[in-house]
Amino acid sequence: MVEERGLSLVSDVSELDGMVAQVLEENAVAVSDYRGGKTQALTFLVGQVMRLTRGRAKPEVVRDILAQRLG
């Protein structure tokens, strides 16, 4: 029933990586803020990925991917 309704969690790194790239591209100000020391910008970016996945992404995985990409 979970899969039938599309409610399963998305934890596939390759699938989430594309969404993270899109969020980073669309939110250049937040990326700049994060790189400038405003760590709360990371929470905003995680939220944007969660919005794209309609809440189905694993936040821990998203946070790890974002942290990696933002270096």
- CATH code of 13-70, in short, is 1.10.10.410
**Is 53 within 8 Å of 10 (Cβ atoms)?**
yes
Domain borders along the chain are 13-70
**Per-residue tens of pLDDT for the chain, all 71 residues:** 444 544 456 667 888 999 999 999 999 999 999 999 999 999 999 999 999 999 999 999 999 999 999 98
Check residue 1 and give its pLDDT.
42
**Is 33 within 8 Å of 45 (Cβ atoms)?**
no
Three-state DSSP at 15 gives: helix
